[in-house]
Amino acid sequence: MLARTAAIWETCEEKGISRYISPAGVETGQIREENAMLKREMFDAVGLALQKETRTPQTAESKAWDYQHVRQFLACRVELLEQLETAAWKLLNLYDPTVTVPEVSYNRDFAVIDLKTSIEGLLQLSQISQVPAYRNAVARAAVTLLEKYQKLPADERDALLAGLEKDSDHVEAAF
């Protein structure tokens, strides 16, 4: 049986008895508190703490700084990960010279967007005009926003855009 710090030896009579191993001197609640605190620190370090613990609205300038901070942090992480992976490939090459060291290059185009604000803006834009061409332009912008959120396969994207054009042609023919 394994424990956090040492093995527990069992006699033949004790074998198979289920037991709960409690950490020495530490309450489970304290462990959970520590885990929650470490999780908050991790989110702060990774730059994902965009939701502040205050209800005070952010200014546009503040949101722009958050956006830049996240992009800058991700770019720095990419650089470090590229260096780490290159070092791993070099180490593997030392072990097995037949393995070639590739040129490691990670994506630096990050889809960091304020999705809620973007969607609200699109919804407001869609209410401005009833002109079919304008609505079609807003719908194309929505497809672009969707692609920033989740990359679409080329055939799906083309089908969506073709459907928009087809619907636009039908609406314009009715007028």
The pLDDT, as a whole number, for residue 113 is 67
Which residue, 119, 108, 117, is CA-closest to 71?
108
Residue by residue, DSSP assigns 75-126 as HHHHHHHHHHHHHHHHHHHHH-TTS---------------HHHHHHHHHHHH
Model pLDDT, residue 98: 93
The CA distance from 97 to 128, in Å, is 64
Per-residue pLDDT of the chain (175 residues; tens, 9 = 90+): 445 565 667 777 777 776 666 666 667 778 888 888 888 777 766 655 455 555 556 565 566 556 667 778 888 888 988 999 999 999 999 999 999 999 999 888 776 666 677 778 777 777 777 777 777 888 888 888 777 777 778 888 888 888 877 766 544 443 3
CA atoms within 13 A on the CB side of 54: 3
pLDDT for res 118: 76
Q: Which pLDDT belongs to residue 174?
A: 38
**Quick one: CA torsion of 116, 121, 126, 127, rounded to 10 degrees?**
110
Q: What is the pLDDT of residue 90?
A: 94
What local confidence, expressed as pLDDT, does residue 124 receive?
79
Residues 62, 50 contacting (CB under 8 angstroms): no
Q: What is the pLDDT of residue 115?
A: 67
